[in-house]
Structure 1
Amino acid sequence: MDTIVIGGGQSGLAAARALLDAGLTPVLLEATDQVTGSWPHYYDSLTLFSPARYSSLPAMPFPGDPDRYPHRDEVVDYLARYARDLGRLGADIRTGARVVAVEGGERGEEGYVVRLADATTLSAPSVIAASGSFANPNLPALEGRADFTGDILHAAGYTSATPYAGRRIVVVGAGNSAVQIAYELAETSAVTLATREPIRFVDQRPLGKDLHFWFSVTGFDRLPARLVSTPPGVPVLDEGRYRRALRQGRLKRRPMFTRFDGDHVVWADGSREHVDVVLLATGYRPHLHYLDGLGALDDSGYPRHTQGLSTTHPGLGFLGLEWQRTPSSNTLRGVGRDARHLARKLKAHLETQHSRAGA
């Protein structure tokens, strides 16, 4: 094997395809029993924010009406088909292969040893960490949280509004998932969005075309991340229904509360309010625990890298990080470009190693 790919979601699959296309031999390791990443675990009503025509991995267009917004389960089916196609092309895909540690690589010559939970070890001259972030939800420190008598959960644990009907709920977050989940919960519950910044809505279909059409024709999706400056707050794509819900009072928004107090939250103006459930739609951090002993991560657990290549360990790459190279790096539509870039760089690294060995 030339490269061990850790993670069988969209990033790992894109990596395996790019490595095959570059003439390399990848082994893809997936901890669970299916090669579809975190998609089966997202909430039931999730739909993509990009139309099908802009939601494909390399060499396999998303099926069906290209202008529709695919449902979560359609993405799961798509990724499963993609994995089967990779298998037919010769990719070695192993499920139930949970990586617990990666060792070696300090000088980029001896390669890497990958240790699995079942005590199996694999070795290769290069490794791509493509394990995503869903398994590592960001849980902000909130004063009084330990004594809160209501329920607290992260969006990673949310599946549907049914268990929360009739309850008083605060959703923390200002991104697409926060707004979409809050809107859904508001069908049967009293819901407030708690955000540190005002929600920044962006029209989903300017001039009658989906925003991703404009990203494509203008080249925005391919711009180097360092050249893109964005205002504070995560943009929330909206055809109008979310803003309408806020205007009509069906959904409320308040500045972030300052602390918990028993079964209450204390808002920024000092007022207290009883709350049954707090749902944290506060994002995720890279799930790279298996690199803890390698020295390739900073103190916050983020990889030290430049455009996906480790700056500390030759032959180590990362894929699927937010803003890794472009604004679309961690999306279905954009991860393939990063995968091809990484495959080219790792192939050059391996060729250099072979040349040195031959000399």
Structure 2
Amino acid sequence: MDCLKEVEGKRLHDRSVTPLPPPTKWIHEPIIVGAGPSGLAVAACLRQKGVPSLILERASCTAALWRTKTYDRLQLHLPKRFCELPLLPFPDHFPTYPSKEQFIAYLDDYASRFGLTPVFNQTVVCAEFDRSVQAWRVKAVGLKGHEEEYITKWLIVASGENAEEHVPVFEGSGEFEGRIIHTSSYKSGEAFKGRNVLVVGCGNSGMEVCLDLCNYDAKASIVVRESVHVLPKEMLGRSTFGLSMWLLKWLPISLVDQFLLLVSHLMLGDTAKYGLRRPKLGPLKLKNLTGKTPVLDVGTLPKIRRGDIKVYSGIKRLRCDGVEFVDGKVESFDAIILATGYRSNVPSWLKGTDMFGEDGYPSKPFPEGWKGKHGLYAVGFTKRGLLGASYDARKITEDIEKQWKASYNKHS
């Protein structure tokens, strides 16, 4: 690749140091770890400002999570105007809520338009700032175990909030004779027709998987362990999210939360009657403080009301043919689907920095979490979806562009 140059005794702008052993490669541009939407967004913004980058991606394609670990009926939960990446809107003919296939097509077009060519099958296993050369050493392993070491002045962490599946361990998991899968392996309810299926997790994915199971004549149940805000997907003829963003321009968040809860009660009724207790904090305030996203109902709640989907409390233990719940109820199930989300894997490979906490998220809250020390950046860890990633991408680009131009002028 033309952006890679052998170190052969080079430091950044300093040719008088001891040669580094191969296969170390000096990268004069920023390295981006991850070729999901966040990584593509920051790479495109940099390219638009004349700054090249090297994208390292552990999978064999861009947006691997969207391509390989999402269910068939998935659509964007927010209107497309809130999900577009910087510099390129969605096509006009796309619906308000694009499908998974349409979103992937948009990402492919995005990468093509900005000439983004990630290096695939490169799993970053370690990245650490080397004070002796004032740069980042990034070690990556290829498909056949071949290791490469890259050195760069700028490192952008774009591996995402959803890098690894979160798979809880229940007492008795080894006894359960049915199938247990994470939603990353779930495609549609067709494989579960006529089966008694328990979905663990009541976020947007869990609720939508339940609906999908019902549409394929499976007998679906859901575990709701914690309180959750369920809001209509649309209010007063507008998307709930879009309406919220508009109201926040004029009203404090507490009043907007009150409005959302009032309209939700009028449209959906008292969700607590169906086992869906609401948190004490309003949906927007809770999102800001914890990152917990309210559920935007796409048709699951009416099925819960009718009894088509049963709601259970937390799991106490698994049995050979079913589940014992914390309230003492015992039910039989053929399969369990874990809609338990994902987690960041940054702490497993990024070393020697206080930018990220043990949970794999930036220590500084939004909107300050995009920048660390010594040329370290983070994109897509705001818990604010693609809007947050776009914000990060623009801020990072502004910061690196200044350094890039200063460095170029200095050595031209």
What is the identity percentage for the equivalent residue pairs of Structure 1 and Structure 2?
27
What does 1:1-359 align with in structure 2 at a 5 Å threshold?
1-41=28-68, 42-65=70-93, 67-87=95-115, 91=116, 93-105=118-130, 110-117=134-141, 118-187=146-215, 188-218=217-247, 229-230=285-286, 234-238=293-297, 241-288=299-346, 291-296=349-354, 297-305=356-364, 307-309=368-370, 311=372, 313-323=373-383, 328=384, 330-331=385-386, 333-347=387-401
| Mean CA deviation greater in 228-237 or 61-70 | 228-237
CA displacement at 1:144 relative to structure 2: 1.9
Q: Deviations over 1:178-232 (max 9, x none)?
A: 0000111123211111011244211211111112322443457xx99xxx62179
Q: Kindly tell me: are residues 66 and 44 of structure 1, through their superposed partners in 2, closer, same or farther at Cα, counting changes over 3 Å?
A: closer
Contact 1:102/1:290, CA 8 A, preserved across alignment: no
Match for 1:201: what amino acid? V
CA displacement at 1:350 relative to structure 2: 6.4
CA displacement at 1:53 relative to structure 2: 2.8
Residue number in structure 1 paired with 2:8: none
Question: Partner of 1:146: helix, strand, or coil?
Answer: coil
| Mean CA deviation greater in 257-266 or 70-79 | 257-266
CA distance in 2, matches of 1:256, 1:219: 35
Q: TM-score, length-normalised on structure 2?
A: 0.74
| Mean CA deviation greater in 123-132 or 190-199 | 190-199
CA displacement at 1:64 relative to structure 2: 3.5
CA displacement at 1:283 relative to structure 2: 1.1
Match for 2:138: what amino acid? V
CA displacement at 1:19 relative to structure 2: 2.1
In angstroms, what is the RMSD of aligned CA positions?
2.9
CA distance in 2, matches of 1:310, 1:66: 34
Structure 1: segments with no counterpart, 5+ residues: none
Match for 1:191: what amino acid? A
Contact 1:169/1:276, CA 8 A, preserved across alignment: yes
Q: Kindly tell me: are residues 290 and 194 of structure 1, through their superposed partners in 2, closer, same or farther at Cα, counting changes over 3 Å?
A: closer
Question: Partner of 1:258: helix, strand, or coil?
Answer: strand
| Mean CA deviation greater in 138-147 or 10-19 | 138-147
Match for 1:336: what amino acid? S
Question: Partner of 2:231: helix, strand, or coil?
Answer: strand
Q: Deviations over 1:17-38 (max 9, x none)?
A: 2223444331112222322341
Q: Kindly tell me: are residues 237 and 258 of structure 1, through their superposed partners in 2, closer, same or farther at Cα, counting changes over 3 Å?
A: same
Q: Kindly tell me: are residues 198 and 304 of structure 1, through their superposed partners in 2, closer, same or farther at Cα, counting changes over 3 Å?
A: closer
CA distance in 2, matches of 1:19, 1:263: 54
CA distance in 2, matches of 1:21, 1:219: 31
CA distance in 2, matches of 1:105, 1:81: 37
CA distance in 2, matches of 1:218, 1:93: 40
Residue number in structure 1 paired with 2:267: none
| Mean CA deviation greater in 172-181 or 61-70 | 61-70
CA distance in 2, matches of 1:309, 1:319: 6
Q: Kindly tell me: are residues 322 and 156 of structure 1, through their superposed partners in 2, closer, same or farther at Cα, counting changes over 3 Å?
A: farther
| Mean CA deviation greater in 230-239 or 132-141 | 230-239
Structure 2: segments with no counterpart, 5+ residues: 1-27, 254-283
Q: Deviations over 1:143-179 (max 9, x none)?
A: 2223322221111111111221221111011110000
Residue number in structure 1 paired with 2:275: none
Residue number in structure 1 paired with 2:22: none
Contact 1:263/1:274, CA 8 A, preserved across alignment: yes
CA displacement at 1:105 relative to structure 2: 4.8
Residue number in structure 1 paired with 2:271: none
CA distance in 2, matches of 1:59, 1:309: 19
Contact 1:51/1:66, CA 8 A, preserved across alignment: no
CA distance in 2, matches of 1:134, 1:269: 31
CA distance in 1, matches of 2:52, 2:85: 19
Counting matched residue pairs gives 339
Contact 2:125/2:140, CA 8 A, preserved across alignment: yes
Q: Deviations over 1:227-267 (max 9, x none)?
A: x621796411125x222111111112121221112222112
CA distance in 2, matches of 1:168, 1:181: 13
Q: Kindly tell me: are residues 290 and 105 of structure 1, through their superposed partners in 2, closer, same or farther at Cα, counting changes over 3 Å?
A: farther
CA distance in 2, matches of 1:162, 1:286: 31
